Amino acid sequence: MRTQVGIIGAGPAGLLLSQLLHINGIESVILEKQSREYCEARIRAGVLEGGTVELLHEAQVADRMEKQKLLHGGIEIAFDGKYRYIDFVDLTGKDLTIWGQTQIVRDLNKARAEAGANLVFEAEDVAIHDYESDSPRITYTKDGEPLEVQCDFIAGCDGYHGVSRASIPQDQISSFERVYPFGWLGILVENPPVSDELIYAHSERGYALFSMRSPTLSRLYIQCNADENPDDWPDERIYEELRLRGGERVAADLVEAPSIEKSLAPLRSFVAEPLRHGNLFLAGDAAHIVPPTGAKGLNLAAADVRILYRALVAYYKSSRTDLLDAYSETCLRRIWNAQRFSWWMTSMLHTFPDSTPYERRLQISEIDYVTNSRAASLALAENYVGLPFD
Ligand code: RFL
Ligand code: PHB
């Protein structure tokens, strides 16, 4: 089979790229390892920057989001018995949208299927060939049959554990990484959120986050050891920690309901450079991971896609190669900004097992400063709502 852009991975990055290319008259094929049902059941991100929302409009998959989204004007930070609100709208004039990644993936799958897209689920043994040449290929197996996609470009949108980045010889790609000594245990519960805004809580017992997906669906997280077994965490134990970490107001207002999903995510910061290798372009989690504390992962994946699809459109419509040539450098500037912000939010709000009493005092002092000083709150706010595109 022949196409213009061969895309590996039907996560938000791969689906969004395929949809935006389609709207601009460019053909693509998506090869996805998992089933559609599996991809549509994964609970991941929830907080969208304005730029991501704009891109979903551009991709014509914003109708359901516009009807069901929640708008947020800021975040609360709980620490040391206090609750401080950082008002993003007042500080930056911008708000944030709560709309689950799960819903985005469902809408994109539906839009792609309705447009008759070539979307292959349960593609096995996906492998990349000749990506340095003008005729790259992707081979795979479907229902036991070996198949091949020939294309002009390959987009590696297959996440952190995918084959795209792993296919690049080690001496041609640099990796930068930090692994944190903890993870997030998350539950989804059919219960109204404990507060109108997200609450990021710092406590001696560890960090906790009180988030949401809708007026009737809460998403709650606690910091735990990265190697814990979620089965060792019955709901009652999680709620006990949430109450102890969230402070008095949260403890009084938090209503328990059984979890409908429970998962543990280790925390990692990671960047692979460059993002382009011949005619192979890495995008999203395939190229970079951030710890979820600043809610940047999905937004960064969308930012890569925005830059890549525009570069591909410029190539096909005007034979321009300059935007493709600049892809890696353009993306990396935003990626490193998000890396710095996510690392900073993570370091400020989590409890580190090896920190000294002196460092603990500094951490409290920093949270106090960031939530009390307009200048420091603004630095947090402008990064959280998303830095502008050039
Ligand atoms: P994905 O979503 O991992 O999709 C990659 C797809 O590639 C497929 N794949 C393969 N397909 C074919 N062959 C292979 N060999 C393949 N290997 C893998 C996979 O099955 C999958 O379908 O990457 P993508 O598209 O780059 O999207 C990235 C986002 O998913 C991720 O950054 C966010 O979910 C991160 N994240 C958050 N981001 C935000 O912007 N805001 C948030 O509030 C936020 N919260 C979160 C998060 C991530 C979390 N976890 C689970 C790590 C909260 C959590 C708990
Ligand atoms: C979420 O709702 O899943 C969420 C919200 C904010 C974050 C991370 C995750 O910083």
For a mutational test of ligand 2's pocket, the pick from 219, 342, 348, i.e. the residue with the most ligand atoms closer than 8 A to its C-beta, is 219
With a 6 Å cutoff on the Cβ, whether 290 touches ligand 2 is no
Q: What is the pLDDT of residue 343?
A: 98
Q: What is the pLDDT of residue 272?
A: 98
Confidence grade of residue 345 (pLDDT, cut at 50, 70, 90): very high
Give, for 65, the enclosing helix (H) or strand (E): helix 63-68
With a 6 Å cutoff on the Cβ, whether 308 touches ligand 1 is no
Q: What is the pLDDT of residue 43?
A: 86
Give per-residue pLDDT as tens, 274-312: 999 999 999 999 999 999 999 999 999 999 999 999 999
| Burial (0-12, 13-18, 19+ Cβ within 10 Å), 193 | buried
Residues 337 and 52: their CA atoms lie apart, in Å, by 16
- Are 18 and 113 in contact, with CB atoms under 8 Å apart? no
Over range 185-190, report the average pLDDT.
97
Sign of the four-CA dihedral 88, 263, 161, 268: positive
* Helices 322-349 and 357-372, axial angle in degrees (round to 10): 120
| Burial (0-12, 13-18, 19+ Cβ within 10 Å), 346 | buried
With a 6 Å cutoff on the Cβ, whether 293 touches ligand 1 is no
pLDDT at 5 over 80: yes
State yes or no: cis peptide before 274, omega within 30 of 0.
yes
Sorted by where each starts, the structural domains of the chain and their CATH numbers stand as 5-71+96-177+268-345 (3.50.50.60), 181-267+352-385 (3.30.9.10)
pTM: 0.97
Q: By C-alpha distance, which of 155, 51, 150 is closest to 97?
A: 51
Residues 246 and 253: their CA atoms lie apart, in Å, by 10
- Are 382 and 389 in contact, with CB atoms under 8 Å apart? no
Q: Name the CA dihedral angle for 271, 273, 278, 281, rounded to a multiple of 10 degrees.
A: 20
